[in-house]
């Protein structure tokens, strides 16, 4: 059932609800089990649990029913098995990198990864004796050139944020596997509905479940799943040892959110395509980036990766720099100006003052990220409402740009 959520309110299988009280295993909704500590029948029974011969839990930091239930649902969507749910997307990335790599190993990462992933590769892994190289994931030759004999992991995202460029996943997977390294794909942006990472050569898939999967900006959670069960065990032990554990309540909330994920994704995607067209027709809009638009610079590669599932993210640039950007936001008071993505409602962010404020203006210019550059995480609102908001926002930005000219 790859790419699909299982029947939203069915327990996956009563046997896959270990740890829930017997009477709650057939509950229509997933029960919430906040206990930290589990009793067991005795030393032999504990051996059986620790050695994998019996289902069960011991201590919530090492795993608990709500994390297991949520992981099984995301496994079904990704076409994976034995995935691990952790306390945030960064916890998932940390568990993958530190659970698998050792000092002396080398990691290659896309140079437009999520900001904290970049920081981990630039600063934290080298501090621990794991060397790293960043390269452009849109150019497989530069990734291949960065790979060394001691490279253990190559980590990329499918569509870059907020520049919405496509990674050359097929060639990167080939170069990674030829070197005996593992390809880690952060599928947060594209989601399993847009991109089936294992089918495109991923050895490990990671998610910030915080974003589209949970979908309501009310939990932080992550997920990691390897093809190889020994790697999943390593990730699970990193979770337990480094204390990257997800809260049962957050898992329970995310599972509730996941029940409507497919509906939310489809609606948001439809809105994003329509809003991209609308923006392109507004005065003062210099360019619109949406993976499904005919003028997208990576059109053919996007279609090869995503088929027709182009997602909910739109970026655009207006003339007039910071003054126009301020006017745009001020003219849309009902549209949350907030640097996040994947909420059920539309949010607007300004990379130059949020996600990419650490770069120099020249560094941002290289990425095409001027003061007039915005990113929209499109939600499920009535599209007419969104059109009205952005008509007003673009008109105000255009007026500000002309006043300054």
Separation between Cα atoms, residue 272 and residue 45, nearest integer Å: 52
Give the range of 183-191, 313-321, 346-354, 365-373 binding ligand PLP by CB under 6 A: 183-191
Is position 186 annotated as part of the catalytic site? yes
Separation between Cα atoms, residue 90 and residue 210, nearest integer Å: 10
Is position 44 annotated as part of the catalytic site? no
Give 164: exposed, middle or buried? Use CB within 10 Å, 0-12, 13-18, 19+. Answer: buried
Specify the residue, 214 or 226, whose C-beta has the smaller distance to ligand PLP: 214
**Is 210 one of the binding residues for ligand PLP (CB under 6 A)?**
yes
Closest chain position to ligand PLP (CB): 89
Q: Which of 20, 38, 57, 114 binds ligand PLP (CB under 6 A)?
A: 114
Q: Which of 63, 80, 99, 222 binds ligand PLP (CB under 6 A)?
A: 222
Minimum distance between the CB of residue 232 and ligand PLP, rounded to whole angstroms?
19
Q: Which of 133, 188, 349, 370 binds ligand PLP (CB under 6 A)?
A: 188
Is position 114 annotated as part of the catalytic site? yes
Instruction: Write down the catalytic residue from 17, 105, 114, 301.
Output: 114
Task: Report in angstroms the alpha-carbon separations of 161 from 112, 184, 263, 326, 370.
Answer: 7, 17, 23, 22, 14
Instruction: Write down the catalytic residue from 73, 211, 309, 375.
Output: 211
Task: Report in angstroms the alpha-carbon separations of 175 from 109, 167, 179, 202.
Answer: 13, 13, 6, 12
**Is 217 one of the binding residues for ligand PLP (CB under 6 A)?**
no
Separation between Cα atoms, residue 347 and residue 217, nearest integer Å: 11
**Is 90 one of the binding residues for ligand PLP (CB under 6 A)?**
yes
Is position 61 annotated as part of the catalytic site? yes
**Is 265 one of the binding residues for ligand PLP (CB under 6 A)?**
no
Specify the residue, 54 or 118, whose C-beta has the smaller distance to ligand PLP: 118
**Is 186 one of the binding residues for ligand PLP (CB under 6 A)?**
yes
Q: Report which secondary-structure segment, H or E, holds 362.
A: helix 361-366
User: What track of x and - describes contact with ligand PLP for positions 127 through 166 (by CB under 6 A)?
Assistant: ------------------------------x---------
**Is 94 one of the binding residues for ligand PLP (CB under 6 A)?**
no
- DSSP at 307: T
Give 6: exposed, middle or buried? Use CB within 10 Å, 0-12, 13-18, 19+. Answer: middle
Compute φ and ψ for 287, nearest 5 degrees: -160, 155
Q: Kindly list the strands in the beta sheet with 313-318, ordered across the sheet, starting from the edge strand earlier in the chain.
A: 285-289, 313-318, 373-377, 347-349
**Is 250 one of the binding residues for ligand PLP (CB under 6 A)?**
no
- Per the document, the length of the chain is 405
User: Which residue bears the tokens 């496994």?
Assistant: 75
Give 48: exposed, middle or buried? Use CB within 10 Å, 0-12, 13-18, 19+. Answer: middle
Separation between Cα atoms, residue 181 and residue 132, nearest integer Å: 14
Return the structure tokens found at 316: 């655009």
Minimum distance between the CB of residue 251 and ligand PLP, rounded to whole angstroms?
13
Instruction: Write down the catalytic residue from 75, 168, 186, 319.
Output: 186
**Is 211 one of the binding residues for ligand PLP (CB under 6 A)?**
yes
Specify the residue, 343 or 371, whose C-beta has the smaller distance to ligand PLP: 343
- DSSP at 4: S
Residues in contact with ligand PLP by CB under 6 A are 88-90, 114, 117, 157, 186, 188-189, 208, 210-211, 220, 222
Which are the catalytic amino acids? 61, 114, 186, 211
């Amino acid at each position: 059932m790859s790419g699909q959520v299982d029947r939203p309110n069915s327990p996956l299988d009563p046997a896959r609800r270990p740890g829930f009280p017997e009477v709650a295993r057939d509950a229509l909704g997933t029960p919430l089990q906040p206990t930290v500590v589990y009793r067991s029948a005795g030393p032999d029974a504990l051996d059986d649990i620790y050695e994998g011969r019996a289902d069960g839990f011991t201590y919530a930091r090492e795993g608990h029913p709500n994390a297991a239930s949520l992981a099984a649902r995301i496994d079904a969507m990704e076409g994976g098995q034995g995935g691990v749910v952790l306390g945030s997307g960064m916890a998932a990335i940390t568990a993958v990198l530190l659970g698998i790599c050792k000092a002396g190993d080398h990691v290659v990462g896309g140079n437009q990864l999520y900001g904290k992933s970049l920081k981990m590769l630039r600063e934290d892994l080298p501090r621990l004796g794991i060397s790293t190289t960043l390269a452009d994931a849109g150019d497989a030759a530069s990734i291949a050139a960065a790979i060394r004999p001691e490279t253990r992991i190559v980590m990329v995202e499918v569509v870059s944020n907020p520049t919405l460029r496509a990674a050359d996943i097929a060639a990167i997977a080939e170069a990674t596997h030829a070197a005996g390294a593992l390809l880690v794909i952060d599928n947060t942006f594209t989601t399993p509905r847009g991109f089936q990472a294992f089918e495109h050569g991923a050895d490990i898939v990671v998610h910030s479940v915080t974003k589209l999967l949970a979908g309501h900006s009310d939990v932080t959670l992550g997920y990691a799943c390897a093809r190889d069960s020994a790697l999943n065990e390593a990730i699970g032990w990193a979770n337990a040892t480094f204390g990257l554990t997800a809260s049962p309540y957050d898992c329970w909330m995310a599972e509730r959110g996941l029940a409507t994920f497919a509906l939310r994704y489809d609606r948001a995607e439809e809105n994003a395509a329509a809003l991209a067209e609308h923006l392109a027709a507004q005065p003062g809009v210099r360019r619109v980036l949406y993976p499904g638009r005919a003028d997208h610079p990576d059109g053919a590669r996007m279609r090869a990766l995503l088929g027709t599932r182009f997602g909910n993210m739109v970026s655009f640039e207006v003339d007039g720099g910071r003054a126009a950007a301020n006017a745009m936001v001020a003219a849309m008071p009902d549209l949350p100006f907030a640097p996040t993505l994947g909420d059920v409602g539309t949010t607007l962010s300004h990379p130059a003052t949020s996600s990419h404020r650490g770069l120099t203006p020249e560094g941002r210019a290289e990425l095409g990220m001027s003061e007039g550059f915005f990113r929209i995480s499109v939600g499920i609102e009535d599209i007419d409402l969104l059109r009205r908001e952005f008509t007003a926002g673009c008109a105000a930005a255009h007026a500000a740009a002309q006043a300054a000219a």
